[in-house]
């Protein structure tokens, strides 16, 4: 059995659900028993334009029939076009470095900050401040940047120079002569779908600019239209020095990007990624970017957001015995659940009703549906979720 083979050969780093999905279309998945599931997770925010998107599939097929990979020793045309599209849609004047994941992108951001602190100023600046309950990845340095102490077990000693502010209000008091950067998520994803206050973020950006401390925004989950605009930074009306992207950028193909306004922030020999920005990943990403830009410009994306939010709020108000608050915005949403046991039961019951949802933090039911989800899929998904909640 597949379950037995998985337990024999795969490290148990995930609490697996053994449903075996065989195919999908947009926000609908089909398992090995030909049962349909409505996907409100998009692979944790990855499959931004849905499963088996025809335009993405065509772009991938055309690319692998020509060149899948050479190396970054040569110019890669779809990579250049992808960087151009990202920068133009961001509205910022920046340059990009391509990696394979959000953690790698955040590693690149930290290297940019450390170099900046080395060459700008009379003393070396190396300290990076992040927020409590943040999540920045699972590599050693990105893990240390993550403000969740439980995730630091076993893996030390870590690189030094990281500290965690309890709230955004505490950051100013933590700045010292060795601080080079502050890294934040504008909406904490793994931390519980927790948006930061817009005015406080704008005040922080202004403060850091006055002190020549870099503002780095981790948009691995919030970016690529997940929160309504191309970047959550656009929603918050700030202009960070460094931004990281991943997840929804490739529509399912691994890709990560660190982008910065610091010209030539990293030069030849200072950083690299063998697979980063290769033909395959950037061809897929270009298709995703085109699809979502067209959807945003046509108004379809905003209409989908409104439809999903409306249905979610109806559900929230119907079950006050289960939920305490509704959080997030765009297609990065959450419902706070009264306790962790109830949340576990909701996710289990939802799966039994064949709708996929996620956990975030200790007590948040998280929703990250494909941005292309249809009205019919939204209606069916909430119908099934309603049934799941009613059974508890």
Element (H, E) at 216: strand 214-218
- Rounded to an integer, the average pLDDT of 65-73 is 97
Q: How far from the centroid of its chain's Cα atoms is residue 249's Cα?
A: 9
Does residue 1 register a pLDDT over 90? no
**Residue 334 phi/psi, 5° resolution?**
-155, 155
* pLDDT score, position 20: 95
Residue 6 falls inside a structural domain: no
For 266: left if phi > 0, alpha if psi spans -120 to 50, otherwise beta; the answer is: beta
* pLDDT score, position 121: 86
- Residue ranges making up the domain that contains 238: 56-297
**Cβ neighbours of residue 348 closer than 8 Å, sequence gap 6 or more:** none
Q: Which pair of tokens denotes residue 263?
A: 């010209």
Indicate the pairing of strand 127-131 with strand 214-218.
Answer: unpaired
Q: CA–CA separation, 309 vs 287, rounded Å?
A: 26
pTM over 0.75: yes
Residue 327 falls inside a structural domain: no
The CATH code of the domain that includes 276 is: 3.40.640.10
Nearest in space to 106 (alpha carbons), one of 80, 134, 125? 134
Does residue 302 register a pLDDT over 90? yes
Number of neighbours of residue 6 by Cβ within 10 angstroms: 12
pLDDT tens-digit map of 36-62? 999 999 999 999 999 999 999 999 999
Q: CA–CA separation, 98 vs 258, rounded Å?
A: 7
pLDDT tens-digit map of 322-362? 999 999 999 999 999 999 999 999 999 999 999 999 999 88
Give, as one character, the DSSP assignment of residue 128: E
Q: CA–CA separation, 212 vs 357, rounded Å?
A: 41
Residue 133 falls inside a structural domain: yes
Q: At 210, is the pLDDT very low, low, confident or very high (cuts 50, 70, 90)?
A: very high
Residue 291 falls inside a structural domain: yes
By percentage, how much of the chain surpasses pLDDT 70? 100
Q: CA–CA separation, 5 vs 332, rounded Å?
A: 35
Residue 63 falls inside a structural domain: yes
Number of neighbours of residue 302 by Cβ within 10 angstroms: 13
Half-sphere exposure of 274 (CA within 13 A, CB side): 0
Cβ atoms 57, 251 nearer than 8 A: no
Residue 134 falls inside a structural domain: yes
Residue 326 falls inside a structural domain: no
Cβ atoms 358, 365 nearer than 8 A: yes
- Rounded to an integer, the average pLDDT of 131-152 is 95
For 284: left if phi > 0, alpha if psi spans -120 to 50, otherwise beta; the answer is: alpha
The total domain count for the chain is 1
* pLDDT score, position 83: 98
Nearest in space to 293 (alpha carbons), one of 77, 58, 68, 84? 84
Cα 193-198-201 angle, rounded to 5 deg:
95
Helices and strands, number each (H, E), in the chain:
13, 17
Nearest in space to 99 (alpha carbons), one of 216, 272, 248, 252? 272
Residue 217 falls inside a structural domain: yes
Torsion sign over Cα 23, 27, 31, 36: negative
């Amino acid at each position: 059995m597949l379950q037995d083979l998985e337990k024999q050969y795969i490290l148990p780093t995930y609490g697996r659900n053994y449903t075996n999905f065989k195919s999908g279309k947009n926000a609908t998945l089909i398992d090995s028993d030909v049962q349909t599931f409505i996907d409100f997770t998009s692979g944790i925010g990855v499959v931004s334009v849905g499963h088996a998107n025809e335009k993405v599939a065509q772009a991938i097929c055309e690319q692998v029939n020509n060149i899948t990979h050479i190396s970054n020793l040569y110019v890669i045309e779809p990579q250049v076009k992808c960087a151009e599209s990202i920068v133009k849609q961001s509205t910022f004047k920046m340059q990009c470095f391509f990696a394979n994941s959000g953690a790698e992108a955040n590693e690149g951001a930290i290297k940019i900050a450390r170099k900046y602190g080395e060459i700008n100023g009379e003393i070396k600046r190396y300290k990076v401040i992040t927020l409590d309950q943040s999540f920045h990845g699972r590599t050693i340095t990105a893990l240390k940047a993550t403000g969740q102490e439980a995730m630091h077990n076993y893996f030390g000693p870590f690189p030094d120079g990281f500290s965690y502010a309890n709230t955004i209000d505490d950051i100013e008091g933590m700045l010292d002569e060795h601080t080079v950067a502050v890294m934040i998520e504008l909406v904490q994803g793994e931390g519980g779908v927790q948006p930061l206050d817009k005015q406080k973020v704008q005040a922080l950006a202004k403060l850091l600019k006055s002190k020549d401390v870099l503002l780095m925004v981790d948009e691995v989950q919030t970016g690529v239209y997940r929160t309504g605009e191309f970047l959550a930074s656009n929603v918050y009306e700030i202009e960070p020095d460094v931004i990281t992207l991943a997840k929804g950028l490739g529509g399912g193909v691994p890709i990560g990007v660190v982008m910065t306004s610091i010209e030539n922030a990293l030069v030849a020999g200072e950083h690299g990624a063998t697979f980063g920005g290769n033909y395959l990943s950037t061809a897929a990403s270009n298709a995703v970017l085109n699809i979502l830009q067209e959807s945003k410009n046509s108004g379809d994306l905003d209409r989908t957001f409104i439809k999903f939010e409306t249905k979610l709020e109806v559900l929230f108000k119907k079950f006050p015995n289960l939920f305490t608050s509704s959080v997030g915005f765009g297609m990065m949403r959450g419902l706070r659940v009264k306790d962790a046991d109830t949340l576990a039961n909701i996710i289990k019951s939802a799966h039994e009703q064949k709708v996929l949802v996620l956990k975030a933090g200790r007590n948040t039911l998280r929703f990250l549906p494909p941005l292309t989800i249809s009205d019919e899929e939204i209606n069916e998904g909430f119908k099934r979720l309603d049934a799941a909640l009613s059974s508890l």
